[in-house]
Structure 1
Amino acid sequence: MVASAAAALAVVTLPAGVANADVGQISGLAGKCVDIAGANSANGTAVQLYDCNGTGAQQWNNTGSQLQALGKCLDVAGGGTANGTVVQIWDCNGTGAQSWVVSGANDIVNTQANKCLDVSGNNSANGTRLQIWECTGGPNQKWNAPPGGGNPPPNPPPSGNFVVSEAQFNQMFPGRNGFYSYSGLIAALNAYPAFAKTGSDVTRKQEAAAFLANVSHETGGLVHVVEQNQANYPHYCDWGQPYGCPAGQAAYYGRGPIQLSWNFNYKAAGDALGLPLLTNPWLVQNDASVAWRTGIWYWMTQNGPGTMTPHDAMVNNRGFGETIRSINGSLECNGRNPAQVQSRVNNYNRFTGILGVSPGGNLYC
């Protein structure tokens, strides 16, 4: 269920809810993004190529002379000017090592070295270090970046006004487990700024209702933090994966609002969110914000047994039924388990009613 990267340069899409058009992702080789390793804001943290995921580690502000993310500046290590000098993040200091211009030819040029931001070895693998190199016009030096002249974004990017108020959330989940806090959900929204902030007000509310309806079904109304059938716990370790199951055979059971399970899903979610979920899957059941982030990660990036992400289904008017297909379609859709589908639809109808919007069409799968 791991989403694959695009095969070509992606057009930069600014996350909805960010009013400043100078803040967004920088995408390049193989459609991947300029990323701060591990979402770590410490001086000297590597800047790399990674699957685009909408997190704050990939939200860059182009001031016209600097590129800023997580409150730091894109910086050439040691102020070097030689081919192959790696780039990193560092406290903004106004030196030439942090002076960048996005050209009309889609180059990002360090003006001190007069060299281009470059993907080492033309390698599109996640984690490939970025460097400066003599400008060649090659695809490993072409970037789609926000235009210049903006103001630095806060760290992390603001969640903005979520379309579900705390009172409405409590109305939706009157018997919820206290672990699933509204504040934890709001904190998690920064991981994917386009979530419930894309399209019209109606679309945004429908998407929020659809997400919460599905997680309500998965967790019994936000009651269960972990999978209840402990006999299943040892089944979720796929030793065929090269990284194995470092947390133990029975460590990758369902947790959180989408009941994240299997070692490969913990690995994928952890990589996307900059969290050590493969080695410490218990984070999902111990930290409400982490739990909510895994749910939003799946919603925004994974097709599951469907053909599109649940987010895409809602913002492209494909209907609530397509979100069911993307979450559990192989077991529920096409008449396999109509009672489970109806449970999800009932939740969705109730939640859209609380939010005061029509549920739209295509409710079933």
Structure 2
Amino acid sequence: MEGIKLSLLAAVFVAMMLLSPLAVVNGDSDDTGSVKPVVKIVKGKKLCSKGWECKTLSEYCCNQTISDYFQAYQFETLFSKRNSPVAHAAGFWDYHSFITAAADYQPHGFGTSGGKLTGMKEVAAFLGHVGSKTSCGYGVATGGPLAWGLCYNKELSPSQSYCDDSFKYDYPCTPSVSYHGRGALPIYWNYNYGKTGQALKVDLLNHPEYIENNATLAFQAAIWRWMTPDKKHQPSAHDVFVGNWKPTKNDTLAKRVPGFGTTMNVLYGEDVCGKGDDDEHMNNMISHYQYYLDQMGVGREEAGPHEVLGCGQQAAFNPSSASPASTSSTS
């Protein structure tokens, strides 16, 4: 009887393990838990799918996915103070939300372009922007100012509602709704909430608060912005970082080169770039990127020289007052 009981217990244990949410469902895993790609050759091109994190057939899914080289403990290291009692968004941001959001964009190359090193550098670059924009670590903050990324998920004391009536036909403002900064790369203004909501198929124009209530959505909005050009014939931050973008003659004249510096140009333009090499906001983003490279085990020496890291000498892609060398990224 004792033997039968032990056999039954063993059978129940095996069944529980098979039903565990940690079990690999899509594809086989190796000894490290990584999911091996399912490979297909389509029109002579190697395409892969790879579990829930990269389930669409894509050439990028043949590479390592983000969770293969960037794991939960590293996320905790990068954002070690985000759940401190004094953090304004304590309990909001988490690793699972980031990976879930990234899963929509990895088949398009986010963190999966050009092999492991490029992938790790892109994740560090993206999070460098995020950490800088959501930090509350200033001066002599405990743990150092670079440890306080993801402290915020919204602007706490907005000075205005950020409603631009010139967009009232395409993105009309909802009465009594404020379009102040929210998210991992904070969104401002009704037209930006409208465009982002259309892309993500979420009604952010009427409900911008969704961004501050859902960490996965907040990361999705930020990654969408990273992956999406602001205008036709211009690159995305992703493109200029991973080498998809080839500078034109006008870009060269404007001192725009592939690398982290030009991601700032794409995302913020003249608000950050073209102000010289001592601009505080620019250097804060650079410091976060370098710090994250170190924490991820890549090393800041992989970030490149200052002319690649910064945009202090670059002309903006879309200046408010156009100049001959900076009106376009096309020759």
Question: 8 Å contact 1:238–1:264 — kept in the other structure?
Answer: no
The aligned runs of 1:1-365 (5 Å cut-off) are: 19-20=37-38, 157-158=54-55, 160-162=65-67, 163-176=69-82, 177-193=90-106, 194-220=109-135, 221-232=149-160, 234-248=161-175, 250-303=177-230, 307-316=234-243, 318-335=258-275, 338-357=279-298, 358-361=302-305, 362-365=308-311
Number of aligned pairs?
226
Rate the CA distance shift 1:266–1:356 in 2: closer, same or farther, 3 A.
Answer: same
Offset at residue 21 of structure 1 (A): 5.9
Structure number with higher helix proportion = 2
| Counterparts of 1:245 and 1:179, CA distance in 2 | 29
Offset at residue 356 of structure 1 (A): 2.1
Q: For structure 2, list consecutive stretches of 5 or more residues without a partner in the other structure.
A: 1-34, 56-60, 83-89, 136-148, 245-257, 312-331
Which one is further off, 284-293 or 185-194?
185-194
Rate the CA distance shift 1:227–1:171 in 2: closer, same or farther, 3 A.
Answer: same
Question: 8 Å contact 2:162–2:178 — kept in the other structure?
Answer: no
Structure number with higher strand proportion = 1
Offset at residue 224 of structure 1 (A): 1.1
| Counterparts of 2:81 and 2:197, CA distance in 1 | 29
Structure ranking higher on relative contact order (CA contacts 8 Å, 6+ apart): 1
Question: 8 Å contact 2:79–2:150 — kept in the other structure?
Answer: yes
Once the two structures are superposed, what CA deviation does each residue of 1:4-40 show, in whole Å capped at 9, x if it has no partner? xxxxxxxxxxxxx9945659xxxxxxxxxxxxxxxxx
Rate the CA distance shift 1:168–1:238 in 2: closer, same or farther, 3 A.
Answer: farther
Amino acid at match of 1:273: L
Question: 8 Å contact 1:237–1:249 — kept in the other structure?
Answer: no
- TM-score for both structures, normalised by structure 2: 0.60
Offset at residue 273 of structure 1 (A): 1.5
Offset at residue 190 of structure 1 (A): 2.1
Question: 8 Å contact 2:197–2:204 — kept in the other structure?
Answer: yes
Rate the CA distance shift 1:236–1:165 in 2: closer, same or farther, 3 A.
Answer: farther
Rate the CA distance shift 1:18–1:236 in 2: closer, same or farther, 3 A.
Answer: farther
| Counterparts of 1:303 and 1:153, CA distance in 2 | 30
| Counterparts of 1:319 and 1:289, CA distance in 2 | 27
Rate the CA distance shift 1:199–1:228 in 2: closer, same or farther, 3 A.
Answer: same
Once the two structures are superposed, what CA deviation does each residue of 1:171-219 show, in whole Å capped at 9, x if it has no partner? 1111113211111111101221221111121111110000001011111
Question: 8 Å contact 1:181–1:288 — kept in the other structure?
Answer: yes
Once the two structures are superposed, what CA deviation does each residue of 1:302-349 show, in whole Å capped at 9, x if it has no partner? 348x94211111111811111111122211111266111111111111
Rate the CA distance shift 1:18–1:263 in 2: closer, same or farther, 3 A.
Answer: farther
Amino acid at match of 2:275: G
| Counterparts of 1:19 and 1:344, CA distance in 2 | 35
| Counterparts of 2:36 and 2:163, CA distance in 1 | 38
Once the two structures are superposed, what CA deviation does each residue of 1:121-179 show, in whole Å capped at 9, x if it has no partner? xxxxxxxxxxxxxxxxxxxxxxxx9789x999877844944332111111111111321
The percentage of aligned residue pairs carrying the same residue is 28
Rate the CA distance shift 1:246–1:21 in 2: closer, same or farther, 3 A.
Answer: farther
| Counterparts of 1:152 and 1:161, CA distance in 2 | 14
Amino acid at match of 1:313: V
| Counterparts of 2:117 and 2:274, CA distance in 1 | 28
Amino acid at match of 1:182: Y
| Counterparts of 1:326 and 1:295, CA distance in 2 | 13
Once the two structures are superposed, what CA deviation does each residue of 1:225-260 show, in whole Å capped at 9, x if it has no partner? 11133213x224344341443533542111101001
Question: 8 Å contact 1:238–1:262 — kept in the other structure?
Answer: no
